[in-house]
């Protein structure tokens, strides 16, 4: 055999072995999860893989609007499990972006507190399963401010110049200013929204940063004096820095409940539902809340939580705070106005 033939044979064998190894490595079952940043512990993903042999590939987002745009623009089958807020469950289900859930694969649905079921955006929970919830409240560092804020109006105080951290969410921020002015959280009247826009622009000098990934960081390290951020982020910040205090604004606050859904065209729907069922296991759900202390709609998991969690007003939001909460609704054609306001505000 000539050297040329031997070399060709070696190359051929190398290619065959490489393809075989690649096929072997890619044969492992997996699902794709699309979820908020800092919302699913890696230990849970590892536990599911250990128990089932199924790997969970996680991709995160920091804006619910970005999540929707990504799901809508991606080829069917790109994602299996998607974390969604209320209004987008409604929107995506109507647009055919979600699969109907086969509850034969999700027996742990029985663990969900009935008060969280049959929501306005999915009356039969056809497309969504409650995951975690909470509010966007205010917090402040008592060692850095001379007077504690009590309402959204206080955010305009000159003492907070270049020292506010707020979630990067146009619906929450614009909605909060709407409420401060006595308008509806989901206001659509053009004249009123013009007033909201003018008032919001007055807040710009006080903004240090907009951050939906980890707004707690600026509070913990003292970069920000006051925050308008997610409740669990406040809870973690309070544990890291005892000077941080929580405030539930006098006007009320944005209330949210996120759900897990199966994306349309999922190539692994049964596995996706198996993962959701795993997440609803009481011990697993408890682990999630210990890592990311949002309000937990899983009654069986709540029964396992210690008193430190149950009695914490930021982790386990009180019913009177929830009663004063605002929920996001579809703005219709006014969505464009909100987008324009936010663009000007963030320029």
Q: Domain locations in the chain?
A: 28-133+257-316, 134-255+325-346
Give the β-pairing of 226-230 and 164-166.
parallel
Report residue 201's pLDDT band, with 50, 70 and 90 as the boundaries.
Answer: very high
pTM value is 0.87
pLDDT score recorded for residue 303: 97
Question: Considering only 2-16, 54-68, 259-273, 326-340, which range has the smallest mean pLDDT?
Answer: 2-16
pLDDT score recorded for residue 287: 98
Say yes or no to pLDDT of 13 above 70: no
Q: Which two tokens stand for residue 290?
A: 């210990």
| CATH fold match for the domains 28-133+257-316 and 134-255+325-346 | yes
pLDDT score recorded for residue 28: 80
Residues in the chain: 347
Instruction: Round to whole Å and give the CA distance between 123 and 204.
Output: 40
To the question of domain 28-133+257-316 being in CATH 3.30.420.300, the answer is no
Task: Report, as an integer, the average pLDDT of 300-329.
Answer: 95
**Average pLDDT for the chain:** 92
- Cβ contacts of residue 242 below 8 Å, gap of 6+? none
Task: Report, as an integer, the average pLDDT of 145-169.
Answer: 95
Instruction: Round to whole Å and give the CA distance between 132 and 118.
Output: 16
Say yes or no to pLDDT of 8 above 80: no
Q: Which residue has the higher pLDDT, 15 or 99?
A: 99
To the question of domain 134-255+325-346 being in CATH 3.40.50.300, the answer is no
Say yes or no to pLDDT of 86 above 80: yes
* CA distances to 10, 194, 259, 303, 310 from 307, in Å: 66, 46, 25, 10, 5
pLDDT score recorded for residue 21: 36
> Could you tell me if 259 and 131 are in contact, meaning their C-beta atoms sit under 8 angstroms apart?
yes
pLDDT score recorded for residue 76: 94
Can you spell out the DSSP letters for 310-345?
Answer: HT-TTTS--HHHHHTEE-----GGGHHHHHHHHHHH
* CA distances to 15, 171, 212, 314, 345 from 338, in Å: 56, 8, 18, 29, 10
Task: Report, as an integer, the average pLDDT of 82-111.
Answer: 97
Say yes or no to pLDDT of 1 above 50: no
Three-state DSSP state, 73: helix
Three-state DSSP state, 250: coil
Instruction: Round to whole Å and give the CA distance between 127 and 115.
Output: 17
Long-range residue pairs from 296-301, CB within 8 A, at least 24 positions apart, any chain? 296/132, 296/133, 297/112, 297/113, 297/116, 297/130, 297/131, 297/132, 297/133, 297/257, 298/111, 298/112, 298/113, 298/130, 299/111, 299/112, 299/113, 300/111, 301/111
pLDDT score recorded for residue 27: 61
Q: Which two tokens stand for residue 153?
A: 């109006």
Q: Is the dihedral of CA 233, 234, 235, 238 positive or negative?
A: positive
| Model pLDDT for residues 259-302, shown as the tens digit of each residue | 999 999 999 999 999 999 999 999 999 999 999 999 999 999 99
Q: What percent of the chain has pLDDT over 70?
A: 92
pLDDT score recorded for residue 11: 39
């Amino acid at each position: 055999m000539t050297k040329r033939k031997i070399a060709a044979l070696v190359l051929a064998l190398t290619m065959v072995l490489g393809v075989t190894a690649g096929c072997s490595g890619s044969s492992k079952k997996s699902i794709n999860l699309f979820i908020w940043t800092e919302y699913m512990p890696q230990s849970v993903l590892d536990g599911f893989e250990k128990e089932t042999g199924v790997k969970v590939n996680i991709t995160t987002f920091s804006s619910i609007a970005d999540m929707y745009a990504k799901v809508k623009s991606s080829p069917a089958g790109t994602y299996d499990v998607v974390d969604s807020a209320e209004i987008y469950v409604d929107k995506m289900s109507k647009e055919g972006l979600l699969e109907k859930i086969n509850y034969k694969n999700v027996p742990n649905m029985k663990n969900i507190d009935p008060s969280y079921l049959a929501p306005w955006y999915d009356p039969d929970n056809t497309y969504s399963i409650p995951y975690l919830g909470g509010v966007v409240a205010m917090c402040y560092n008592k060692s850095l401010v001379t007077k504690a804020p009590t309402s959204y109006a206080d955010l305009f105080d000159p003492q907070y110049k270049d020292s506010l951290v707020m979630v990067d969410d146009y619906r929450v921020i614009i909605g909060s200013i709407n409420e401060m002015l006595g308008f509806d959280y989901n206001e659509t009247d053009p004249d009123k929204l013009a007033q909201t826009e003018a008032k919001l622009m007055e807040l710009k000098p006080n903004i240090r940063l907009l951050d939906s990934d980890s707004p707690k960081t600026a509070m913990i390290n003292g970069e920000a004096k006051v925050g308008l951020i997610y409740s669990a982020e406040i809870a973690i910040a309070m544990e890291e820095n005892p000077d941080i205090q929580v405030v539930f604004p006098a006007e009320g606050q944005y209330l949210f409940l996120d759900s897990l859904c199966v994306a349309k065209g999922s190539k692994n729907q049964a596995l996706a539902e198996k993962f959701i069922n795993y997440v609803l296991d009481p011990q697993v759900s408890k682990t999630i809340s210990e890592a990311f202390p949002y309000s937990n709609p899983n009654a069986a998991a709540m029964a396992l939580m210690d008193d430190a969690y149950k009695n914490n007003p930021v982790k386990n939001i009180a019913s009177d705070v929830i009663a004063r909460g605002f929920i996001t609704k579809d703005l219709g054609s006014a969505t464009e106005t909100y987008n324009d306001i936010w663009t000007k505000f963030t320029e």
